[in-house]
Amino acid sequence: MIDRAGGGPLRRLVLLRHAKSAWPVDAADHERPLAPRGRRDAPAAGRALAEADCLPDLALCSTAVRARETWELAAAQWGTPPPVRHDRRLYAAGPQGLLNVIHEVPAEVETLLLIGHNPGLEDLVLALAGDGLDDTLERVRTKFPTAAIAVLSWHGTAWHALTPGSALLTALTVARGDRKHHGPHA
């Protein structure tokens, strides 16, 4: 879709916070896996993106185990997952660090998925969104929980042109998987 004002094609930045992680006593933070709830919620995130017709052309994923597992379980819900780049810079990055990585994305990518962590993702949403539909911005300010999905839309010729306040927060979803088949303590 082309912006009639000449601002370039419509681009979407989809930010997915990793699903709920476990806290094993002997695991370093980077190595923490998903908890049972996270293993249910991550596929639900993939289904939510498919149902919203928001599948990415490229995925950028933190190298943390919980982020990689979220990506694998979400992408397994799609017929043909897009290419993924695992980038250590996304782990524990603040909003400017995340934006620096986004600025490197090739111009042909129109929908970009970034799987990462809080508080960086929440701060990035709030920095980039000049406005939001309905109560999406207020909901992000209140809480950006695990398996939350924020969709930011903007018009631009290249990703390096994405700047604070230039996007519209068009959707906020929190993916939750079906607990019926996993027993009472899963």
CATH 3.40.50.1240 fits 10-174, yes or no: yes
**Taking 70 as the threshold, does the pLDDT of residue 2 lie above it?**
no
* Single-letter amino acid code for the residue at 119: P
pLDDT for the residue 183: 41
The yes-or-no verdict on residue 6 having pLDDT over 70 is no
Neighbours of 127 (CB within 10 A): 17
Over residues 95-124, mean pLDDT: 97
The ranges assigned to domains in the chain are 10-174
